[in-house]
């Protein structure tokens, strides 16, 4: 059995607009702060895994090294849609677990403030030439908007509507109330992009993007970075009591992709791969959903949060609406979900998200979350979905040291 | 009558417009795109198979923000055509939440989407309410 791996240091930058900082600045800030949080240096790292999705061919890992320390270690530049950060973290975890090194550094960064609609394809094709079938569907024009939609808001809207069709109980207002919760939660998170409470009426009367998701029910495009230093169990034992006390155990680190099912190439199925990841993670960590003190899940849209209550088995199958209506996912509820404000309010700098979610959980497990501390938190789960698809689930446990 | 071409190659025009999928000869999984192999069973041989023209709306959204040149709002949906899921717009309907619902019955319809410089007419498809 490979040894346990721990988060030794972790950092998330302010999310929001950083017009004076580029991706390398933000990644440097996150990485250096994570290193100092861990009490180690770049020279201690045996692997660097880094992601910057919107600029994935630029080699953010090496760009980062050139600013904060070129030590000659292997760099893995990773890209896995919105699961890029979780993939970077998992890559570092795997290297430590494999015994290749004692310490690993994972970094995710994105410059996304002001970005508009994502997923609409390559803009308009030149008009008024001649129709020439191209691509895997032999299309003569852009299909998005003509043959349904693959835009992010439209896709996740349908995913929520499909859940309602299957189990009933959903409505525009229900989805808006999920968003109301996350915007309310963000008022306690100074690092969130938006920290303003929004009323149900404000949310429902805001600009409609893709029914039933209005603008505040969509993830906030923003700039941000997050980084984590991981360490193996045997090395951790040699470190100081303070380092051991603040270390957070990675009880499970899981990455899945979507297994083939009917319709999965028509409307992405974000359910099965999340359920598979959750099942594997619970088994690996030896915990169940009832043991979780808090959950950060991928609420890229309000409609997505609902289905993931079910997929992460926070409720019984088909019971997500009742779960929400019971008040369970509010910060004073049975299983607080997205106390950070979630992607809708904290923001979603894509490649940073999968590490920022882990940072939020660690913050609570270490008892360092200030005003939004979930008292006595011992176990938490962080989840991300990247369309295509990839799902990352990490279960984190408070140190006994 | 100008020459017509379909928006996508799985739309068959003529007197009886319909959609065709690639069906895996081993496991019957269906796909609309050009295949290298079957994603379900790794099978290598496929046959063309007609997809039912009628179906029900299993999921939909009303899109208000789209790529430039796409008229909004429009209804994007997943249609369950007798067990084969199809991505398409729901057309010939008011794009409002009180007019569209999951479970509603729809059928395939085709319409011109434009004409190119050679006078060739592009034909798109959507699903319209039945009855």
How many Å lie between the alpha carbon of B63 and the closest alpha carbon of chain A?
4
Contacts of A131 in chain B (CB under 8 A): 5, 116, 120, 122
Q: What is the pTM of this model?
A: 0.95
Output the pLDDT for position A123: 43
Q: Which residue in the set B62, B65, B88 is minimally distant from A117, CB to CB?
A: B65
Distance between CA atoms of residues A119 and B66, nearest Å = 10
Closest CA–CA distance from residue A265 to any residue of chain B (Å): 8
Distance from CA of B69 to the nearest CA of A (A): 7
To the nearest whole Å, the CA of A261 is away from the closest chain B CA by 7
Paired residues of A211 in beta bridges: B62
Answer yes or no: do A120 and B58 touch at CB < 8 A.
no
Q: With CB atoms and an 8 Å threshold, state whether B9 touches A151.
A: no
Q: Which residues of A touch B37 (CB under 8 A)?
A: none
CB contact under 8 A, B67 and A212: no
Whether the Cβ atoms of residue A84 and residue A108 lie closer than 8 Å to each other: yes
Domain span holding position A340: 5-114+220-398
Residue B49 forms beta bridges with which residues?
A: B21
- Between strands A248-257 and A294-296, the pairing is unpaired
Structure tokens at A156: 């996740």
Based on the structure, what is the number of domains in chain B? 1
Low-confidence ranges of chain A (pLDDT < 70): 1, 120-128
Long-range contacts of B106-110 (CB under 8 A, 24+ apart): B106/B54, B106/B55, B106/B56, B106/B57, B106/B77, B106/B79, B106/B130, B107/B53, B107/B54, B107/B55, B108/B17, B108/B18, B108/B19, B108/B53, B108/B54, B110/B11, B110/B13, B110/B17
At residue B51, does pLDDT exceed 50?
yes
Question: What pLDDT shows up at residue A130?
Answer: 87
> Could you read off the pLDDT of B58-93 as tens digits, one per residue?
999 999 988 888 899 999 999 999 999 999 999 999
Structural domain span for residue B125: 4-129
**Percentage of chain A modeled with pLDDT above 90:** 95
Q: Would A87 be classed as within a structural domain? A: yes
Number of domains in chain A: 1
- What is the CATH classification number for the domain harbouring A10? 3.40.47.10
A297-349 confidence digits (pLDDT tens): 999 999 999 999 999 999 999 999 999 999 999 999 999 999 999 999 999 99
Q: Is the CB of A141 less than 8 angstroms away from the CB of B77?
A: no
Compare all CA atoms of chain B with the CA of A124 and give the residue at the minimum distance.
B68
Predicted local distance difference test score (pLDDT) of residue A120: 65
CA A103/CA A140 separation, integer angstroms: 51
Quick one: pLDDT at residue A127?
Answer: 52
CB-based contact A161 B60, cutoff 8 Å? yes
A154/B contact by beta carbon, under 8 A: yes
């Amino acid at each position: 059995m490979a040894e346990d791996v721990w988060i030794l240091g972790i950092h998330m930058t302010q999310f929001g607009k950083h017009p004076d900082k580029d991706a390398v600045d933000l990644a440097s800030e996150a990485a250096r702060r994570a290193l100092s949080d861990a009490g180690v240096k770049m020279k201690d790292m045996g692997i660097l895994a880094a992601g910057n999705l919107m600029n994935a061919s630029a080699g953010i890992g090496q760009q980062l090294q050139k600013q904060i320390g070129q030590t000659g270690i292997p760099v893995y530049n990773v890209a896995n849609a919105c699961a890029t950060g979780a993939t970077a973290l998992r890559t570092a975890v795997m290297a430590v677990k494999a015994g290749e090194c004692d310490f690993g550094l994972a970094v995710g960064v994105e410059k996304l403030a002001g970005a508009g609609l994502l997923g609409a394809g390559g803009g308009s094709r030149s008009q008024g030439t001649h129709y020439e079938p191209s691509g895997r569907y032999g299309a003569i024009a852009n299909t998005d908007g003509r043959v349904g939609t693959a835009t992010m808001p439209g896709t996740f809207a349908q995913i929520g509507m499909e859940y309602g069709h299957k189990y009933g109980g959903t409505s525009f207002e229900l989805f808006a109330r999920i968003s109301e919760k996350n915007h309310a939660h963000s008022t306690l998170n100074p690092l969130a992009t938006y920290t303003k409470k929004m009323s149900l009426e404000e949310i429902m009367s805001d600009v409609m993007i893709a029914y039933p998701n209005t603008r505040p029910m969509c993830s906030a495009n923003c700039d941000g970075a997050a980084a984590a230093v991981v360490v193996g169990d045997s090395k951790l034992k040699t470190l100081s009591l303070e380092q051991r006390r603040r270390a957070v155990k990675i009880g499970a680190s899981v990455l899945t992709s979507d297994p083939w099912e009917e319709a999965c190439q028509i409307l992405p199925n974000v359910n099965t791969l999340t359920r598979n990841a959750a099942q594997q993670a619970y088994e690996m960590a030896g915990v169940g959903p009832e043991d979780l003190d808090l959950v950060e899940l991928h609420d890229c849209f309000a409609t997505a949060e609902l289905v993931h209550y079910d997929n992460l088995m926070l409720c019984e199958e088909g019971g997500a609406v009742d779960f929400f209506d019971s008040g369970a996912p509010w910060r004073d509820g049975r299983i607080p979900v997205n106390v950070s404000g979630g992607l809708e309010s904290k923001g979603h700098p894509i490649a940073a998200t999968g590490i920022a979610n882990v940072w939020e959980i660690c913050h609570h497990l270490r008892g360092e979350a200030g005003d939004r501390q979930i008292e006595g938190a011992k176990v938490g789960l962080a989840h991300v979905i990247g369309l295509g698809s990839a799902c990352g689930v990490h279960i984190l446990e408070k140190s006994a040291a | 009558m100008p020459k017509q071409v379909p928006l996508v190659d799985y739309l068959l025009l003529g007197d009886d417009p319909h959609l065709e999928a690639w069906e895996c000869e081993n496991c019957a999984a269906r796909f609309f795109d050009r295949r290298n192999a079957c994603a379900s069973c790794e099978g290598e041989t496929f046959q063309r198979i007609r997809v039912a023209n009628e179906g029900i709306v299993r999921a939909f959204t009303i899109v208000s923000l789209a790529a430039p040149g796409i008229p909004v709002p429009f209804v994007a949906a997943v249609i369950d055509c007798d067990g084969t899921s199809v991505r398409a717009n729901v057309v010939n309907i008011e794009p409002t939440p009180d007019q569209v619902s999951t479970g509603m019955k729809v059928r395939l319809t085709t319409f011109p989407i434009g004409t190119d410089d050679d006078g060739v007419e592009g034909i798109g498809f959507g699903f319209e309410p039945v009855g």
